[in-house]
Each structure stands twice: as C-alpha cells, then as structure tokens.
Structure 1
Amino acid sequence: MTDKFSWIEDELRTLQEAGLRTTIRTIGSACGAWMVVDGKKVLNFCTNNYLGLANHPRLKSAAQAALEKWGAGPAAVRSIAGTLELHRELETRLAAFKEVEDALYVQSGFCANQAVIPALVGKEDIIFTDRLNHASIIDGCRLSSAEIVVYEHCDVEDAERAIKAHKGKYRRAMLITDGVFSMDGDIAPLDRLHALCEQHGIITMVDDAHGEGVVGRSGRGIVDHFRLNGKFDLEIGTLSKAFGVVGGVIAGRKLVIDWIRQKARPFLFSSAVTAADTAACLAAVELLEQGSELVDKLWENTRYFKEGMRRAGFDTGPSATPITPVMLGEASLAQQFSRKLFDGEPGLFAMPIGFPTVPQGKARIRVMISAAHSREDLDLGLEIFAKVGKELGVIS
C-alpha cells in the first residue's frame, strides 16, 4: 500500500539539500543575555527580548500574584465569561500609553492581524499592502476576501500609483504596513503614507510588533515616532517582544475597537489570555511609563554593535533599528555560519533566516540586540562573529 505521506519525505529532503530546512533548538533556561540552548550555555543574540523584560523580577512577581488570585486560566473566551478585570485594566493602560481612545488585548500579534482585517474589509473592498509585510498581515488579507494590491517596499510613489489605478473600483480601502520590518530592520515612511491615505480616504493600519518598546518616546512605538498619535486609524502590536510576555494589542478609535469586539473571530472564538500573562504585561507597561532608561540602553547597545560589525566588514543591510541582519546571500552559507557560531567556545545563539521568510539570495543571520547585553557581551559577540566570518571567507 502506498504511503499517503511519502511526498513529505521528498519535500523535506529538498529543503535539506537547499539549506532551507528549519532546525528548531530547545531552550533550557529563562530568556536573557545568556541562555541554555540544546543543553549548552550560549550568548543570546536571537530572541526578541529587546528590553530584557522577559525575566524581569517585577514581571515575574506580578505574574505570580495574579496566578494566586485568579488561577491558572480564565477557562472561557472573552465574549462569554473570560474577560477579567485585569484584561480591561491592561487595555485602558495600553490606550493611554499609545494616546488613543481604546485598545483590545488578544492572544497574539498574529491573532490581532487576523482579527482586524476581515472585520473591516471584505469582498467588495481593496487592500494596499507593502511587499515585505509580515506573514500575519498576508494571512489576514487572504481571510478578508478583499482584493489585494501589493505596492513596492516602502515606496510611497508606488502606493500612490496603485491607489489611483484602482480609484472608484471598491467600496472601502485599507492600506497596511509594518512599522519596523522584522527581517531588515528598516522603518516604514509612516508620515507620507498617512498623508497619502488621508488624501484618498483610505483606512490606515500599521503593525508595530518590532516598534513597540523600541522607537518613540519611552518605546511608545512607530506612530509616536512620527508624532501621529491618534491619527493613524489602527495600531497593531505585540506584547511578546519588547514587553517580554505574550499577547497582541489592537489600538485606535473607540468606535472601531467596539466593532472589532463584535466581529473579530480570534477574539470571539479563542480562549482569553491568562491572568498571569496579563498582569506581567501590565507590569511591563508600568516600567516603560516610568522612564526611557531601558530604551536608551537598547539603542546605546545597538549603535555600538552595528558600528563594530561595519568596522569588521559585515554587511548589515538597511536596518535603522536594533534588528541587525548580517547579510550572507545563500541559505546554505547562513546555516553553516549559524552552526559555527553556536558550536564555538563560547557559543553564540543566532539563527539563520532564509527563503521563504526572506527572498531567495538574501539569506542572513538576524542579530537581535537587547538592553540586557553588557558591553562585555557585545565585545565577545563581535569577536565571535569576526572569527567565523574569516573562517568562512565572508570578511577578510
């Protein structure tokens, strides 16, 4: 009898030969500047723990207290019996932090994009989307059944051309962009995109997953960075990166957020986030409200590390944020480079990124700088990268 899934072996073999098969490593410690990965203590340049909050004492204490008071899980979806006082408190605090009317806390940033897009546009509508937008945006657009028009990456003129070419052919229109692009670390021209959309009456939406806690005043995000607070229609965020916990946030006008509460399927049909996670998120917001010390340290570390990499001869792409892509080209080289980083003594944890996450021929090691890194950590990281880069002929 023929194995119905024999084709999977062939496909996995093809991925392996092309250097595109993902190797999933196992973490054996809390997230920090140093971690235990696959049983080995290594320097961590891989996680999205921008501000070092994932193992912060205040967040852990808040989570422990909430666990004692509220229990392990809410045991219901938000719309039936799962909305805790903590959820509403976090939403109020996030709205105030972002200087918008309202916010909705959902299970993840991925869920947030899938919640918003189909709730606002459908078959009679159109979406203008940046070519390099995150997979969660792409999937949300597909779920909406709206016409999808891709404009070239961060190209306002191309977005305008697309908008004019489709004028009058839709009921509603939405333009969606990442704020900080997760693979290249560059920033969307949000001010110019906003002006364009205002001119043509288009709904504006930005995914700020890698901007929150990183750019803007005390990490208020990409919209704050461009001083567009309350003007951009929808801000989508995540609390799993700089905030160090888990969950997604949808922020904007109260009218729009109320509508999403009525129509968003991930919100309506998936269980609420736990009290412990919610309380930890509240603690993270409080830390950021108190000052910019951690954000300042993150940027100080970023500038130091990037300058060291450039001096060593590495190509770090167009990044304008702590995301530091070490451009290598071929996926097989990126995988080899990552293994050598990890296998050294001491080892360094930084995963390779290849197709389809990034275009063919643009594989890289993506380095994620954190406020948790000391100057000694950064110097050691630069030393390890230079050693492997010379061994593999990437730098001379």
Structure 2
Amino acid sequence: LFSGYLWAAPAYHLILEGILILWIIRLLFSKTYKLHETYKLTEKEKEDLIEEWQPEPLAPPVSKDHLHLNYDLVTGPPSHKIILNGKECINFASFNFLGLLDHERVKEKALASLKKYGVGTCGPRGFYGTFDVHLELESRLAKFMKAEEAIIYSYGFATIASAIPAYSKRGDIIFVDEAACFSIQKGLQASRSFIKYFKHNDMDDLERLLKEQELEDQKNPRKARVIRKFIVVEGLYINTADICPLPELQKGYLAWYYFYTLQIDDIDLISANMENAVASVGGFCCGRSFVIDHQRLSGQGYCFSASLPPMLAAAAIEALNIMEEDPDIFTVLREKCKHVYKALQGTTGLKLVGEPFAPALHLQLERSSGSRDSDMQLLRTIVDYCLERHVALTLARYLEKEERFLPPPR
C-alpha cells in the first residue's frame, strides 16, 4: 500500500513531505538557542563597567508637598468628634449621619457578639459562613424596608457592583444616570451589557433614549422580546449630593434604585450601603423573594466573599432597633441638614452643591482656575484652614482615569 501511494503521489507532494520530515528532524536535534563565544572580562574591565553603571530610581521623583505624601492622621475611634493630627475636631468628613457608630448600645451588642462568635466567619454564606445573626439581620432589613426578602453583603462597594451583573448580561440594555457612583460603574462594566447614559436627573433625556429604543425594538420584535432593559439611578447621588426626581421617574417607568424610601412594589430592586448610617459595614439588597434568591447563586460578592463578621451584623441589628424605637432621629437629622445648608450658602468663592435636606454636601470652587491640580491644591488649603479651627473636612477622591464622568474638584 505504501509503495502504491508513493507511485500515485505527485512529485511536488513527495518533495514537500520530505522537506517537512527533514525540518522536524532538525528541530528535534538542534539547540533552542545559539551558542555565543564567551569573552572573559579582566578585573579592570569589570571595575569600569561597575563604575559606569547608573541604576534607575526605584520610584519616580515626587515633590515633598505632593498631596498623597501628606495624609491626615486620625487617632481613636470615629465619632461626631475625632482626633485629627492631634486636634479634637467636629467631624464633617465621614458618613456617620445618625451618630450611631459610637452609640453605647451598638458597641455593647458588637462586643457581646465578638465574645460569642469570634472575629470572623472564615467562609462565604453558601458554605459555612452563615450564622444566625446573618439570617436575623436579613429578616430585620426586609421588615424595615417593607420588602419580601433581603440579602446582605460583607462589603458595601461590592453590593451593587455584584447585583447589577447578576441580572443584566451581555446583550441587555441598561439606562443609567451619568452621575452614577463608582460602584455602579463597576457593576455596569462587569455586566458587559449595552449602557446608555442619560443626562444627570434629566427625565426628558431619559424619555428620549427610551423612545429611541422603542423604535429600534419595532424593527426586530423577536429580538426585542429577549433583550432585558433596566434603569439604574441613585436615591442620593454621592458624586453630586442631590436627589433623584423619583416622582417624575415613577410616572411612566419601572426603575431600579440604589436606595430610596418608596414602595417596594414600584421597583425591582433596592440596594443600599450599611456603611453610612447603620453603624456597620457591608450592604444589602431587598425586593421580591424570587428576585433576591437569584443573587444567592449569581451575586459574585455574596457567593465568593467571606460573610459579614457576626459582631458587625449584631451592630447593624441594634442600629435598626434604635431607628425603630426613636424615629425622631431622622427628623433631627433633616433639620440639621437644612441648618448646615443655609449656613454654607453664599460663601464667597465657593459653590454649594446638594439639596437642603441631604446629609451629604459638596463645596466646589465657584470659578475654576482651569487646572484640576491647582483647584485641588486650593481646596486642600481650605481644608487645612478649617482643620486649624477644629473642623474636619475632606476632599472628594476619585480614580480619575477610570471615572466615566469625572466630577469637578470638591
């Protein structure tokens, strides 16, 4: 058979096979690198080479007055008053809005839980990281938010960043406000969905995008039926300190909110951070049971991260107890927000950004110098000026190269 094949095969075919066989043999027996003739240096030549060598710096040169080299040092626990660089200051730099972080009842519950359970859980919720306090906290959050079910995460940033890609996949469409915070941006990126940004708090622009999408869907109804569409907004925009116009949004659209007080039946999912006012860490999502259960298998931050430390879950439960027992603390907070907003209005050279009843406010330069670094340096000078007078403020920090819409210095 082989002999017959040789006679039947054309000459060029045999030549190519022969060349291929020779090439394989050459590869098998040849060295993988070329040998170079070695040259032994004399001692003098070695010394000369060492003398001429100039090493590159391990880090690029940075001026001593660079912002990142001059950190403020906080001593002691965070509270409404903090020790900053050795000075006791009124704390306007953190998100402890209700003052529960240093509440004695919260600290006592956290300490009791620490003695009972230890520090951490050493595992994710789906394996051996679920404790009774986790189930109790989820039940309490669902009751507090008037939802069917809630799910907790051990890291606030990962909550919404995990929730979005759990539902929205490649090919789906998300309509999102351009002022969305960085955690939402990361969730959008992880979802690999098609993102359509509308102007900040501009419901007319959102309506325009929705109508454009409706016309696009009419061209291919079969494809449109399998494409899911979401609207993602924040209740209080941390980048702008203003409120989403929910009444306008609720009139005609089903939305997906990042924390706001409203009827749960009007929306698919509410996501919130427990690191602001609940005296704990982590975050939660709440909604209908079939919606929340999906995250227990698809939420990356829930499935693959160690669960919330039990003592912090106990602290959050006690914070909810205080909120329910004394709802007047929200009225007091709102009045203080209005007072601070009124006091900061009309500050020469500064523009107040935010809402009168919002617990987070931004101050930015009324007129920019045209250089972001110069604006940041000037704002830093204002922060230092306030620190000398025992008032703690802070600059808003951003990953400038990764922000989709970078806010001005604040």
Alignment TM-score, normalising by the size of structure 2: 0.76
In 2, Cα distance between equivalents of 1:22 and 1:186: 32
In 1, Cα distance between equivalents of 2:392 and 2:261: 32
Match of 2:378 in 1: 333
Match of 2:392 in 1: 349
Matched residue of 2:351: which SS? Answer: coil
| Cα distance change of structure 1 residues 132 and 3 upon mapping to structure 2, 3 Å threshold | farther
Match of 1:256 in 2: 291
| Cα distance change of structure 1 residues 265 and 22 upon mapping to structure 2, 3 Å threshold | farther
Check whether the contact 1:317–1:326 (CA below 8 A) recurs between aligned residues: yes
In 2, Cα distance between equivalents of 1:237 and 1:57: 24
Query: Structure 2 unaligned runs (5+)?
Result: 1-52, 218-222, 369-374
Match of 1:79 in 2: 126
- After TM superposition, the structure 1 = structure 2 runs for residues 369-388 of structure 1, keeping only pairs within 5 Å, are none
Matched residue of 1:9: which SS? Answer: coil
In 1, Cα distance between equivalents of 2:55 and 2:145: 54
| Cα distance change of structure 1 residues 360 and 229 upon mapping to structure 2, 3 Å threshold | closer
Match of 1:196 in 2: 252
Q: What is the identity, as a one-letter code, of the residue corresponding to 2:249?
A: L
Match of 1:205 in 2: 256
Count of aligned pairs between the two proteins? 335
| Cα distance change of structure 1 residues 181 and 84 upon mapping to structure 2, 3 Å threshold | same
Q: What is the identity, as a one-letter code, of the residue corresponding to 1:261?
A: R
1:3 CA drift (Å): 8.5
Check whether the contact 1:236–1:250 (CA below 8 A) recurs between aligned residues: yes
- After TM superposition, the structure 1 = structure 2 runs for residues 22-171 of structure 1, keeping only pairs within 5 Å, are 24-167=71-214, 168=217, 171=227
Q: What is the identity, as a one-letter code, of the residue corresponding to 2:258?
A: D
1:190 CA drift (Å): 1.9
Q: Of the two structures, which has the highest relative contact order with CA contacts closer than 8 Å and spacing of 6 or more?
A: 1
1:183 CA drift (Å): 3.1
Based on CA coordinates, which of the two structures has the bigger radius of gyration?
2
Match of 1:375 in 2: none
| Cα distance change of structure 1 residues 114 and 324 upon mapping to structure 2, 3 Å threshold | closer
Q: What is the identity, as a one-letter code, of the residue corresponding to 2:261?
A: V
Check whether the contact 2:235–2:258 (CA below 8 A) recurs between aligned residues: yes
Q: 2:317 aligns with which of 269, 272, 282?
A: 282
In 1, Cα distance between equivalents of 2:137 and 2:54: 54
| Cα distance change of structure 1 residues 301 and 189 upon mapping to structure 2, 3 Å threshold | same
Q: Deviations over 1:256-303 (max 9, x none)?
A: 100111111110000001110000000011111113222122122222
In 2, Cα distance between equivalents of 1:4 and 1:99: 61
| Cα distance change of structure 1 residues 162 and 29 upon mapping to structure 2, 3 Å threshold | same
| Cα distance change of structure 1 residues 307 and 75 upon mapping to structure 2, 3 Å threshold | same
| Cα distance change of structure 1 residues 266 and 359 upon mapping to structure 2, 3 Å threshold | closer
Matched residue of 2:108: which SS? Answer: helix
Query: Structure 1 unaligned runs (5+)?
Result: 199-203, 209-221, 365-396
Matched residue of 2:244: which SS? Answer: coil
| Cα distance change of structure 1 residues 32 and 191 upon mapping to structure 2, 3 Å threshold | same
In 2, Cα distance between equivalents of 1:157 and 1:113: 26
- More divergent stretch after superposition (318-327 vs 148-157): 318-327
Q: What is the identity, as a one-letter code, of the residue corresponding to 1:235?
A: I
| Cα distance change of structure 1 residues 43 and 145 upon mapping to structure 2, 3 Å threshold | same
Q: 1:223 aligns with which of 248, 261, 265?
A: 261
| Cα distance change of structure 1 residues 84 and 310 upon mapping to structure 2, 3 Å threshold | same
Matched residue of 1:237: which SS? Answer: strand
Check whether the contact 1:334–1:353 (CA below 8 A) recurs between aligned residues: no
- More divergent stretch after superposition (310-319 vs 60-69): 310-319
In 1, Cα distance between equivalents of 2:406 and 2:266: 37
Matched residue of 2:75: which SS? Answer: coil
In 2, Cα distance between equivalents of 1:306 and 1:172: 41
Matched residue of 2:352: which SS? Answer: coil
Q: Deviations over 1:45-89 (max 9, x none)?
A: 100000001111111011011111111111111001111111011
1:132 CA drift (Å): 0.4
In 1, Cα distance between equivalents of 2:187 and 2:57: 29
- More divergent stretch after superposition (333-342 vs 303-312): 303-312
Q: Deviations over 1:131-157 (max 9, x none)?
A: 000000000000011011111001111
- More divergent stretch after superposition (313-322 vs 277-286): 313-322
In 2, Cα distance between equivalents of 1:135 and 1:360: 10
Match of 2:11 in 1: none
Match of 1:322 in 2: 359
1:100 CA drift (Å): 0.8
Check whether the contact 1:190–1:223 (CA below 8 A) recurs between aligned residues: no
Q: What is the identity, as a one-letter code, of the residue corresponding to 1:351?
A: T
Match of 1:362 in 2: 408
1:31 CA drift (Å): 1.6
Tell me if 1:185 matches 2:230. no
Indicate the percent of aligned positions where both proteins have the same amino acid.
25
Matched residue of 2:329: which SS? Answer: helix
Q: What is the identity, as a one-letter code, of the residue corresponding to 1:88?
A: L
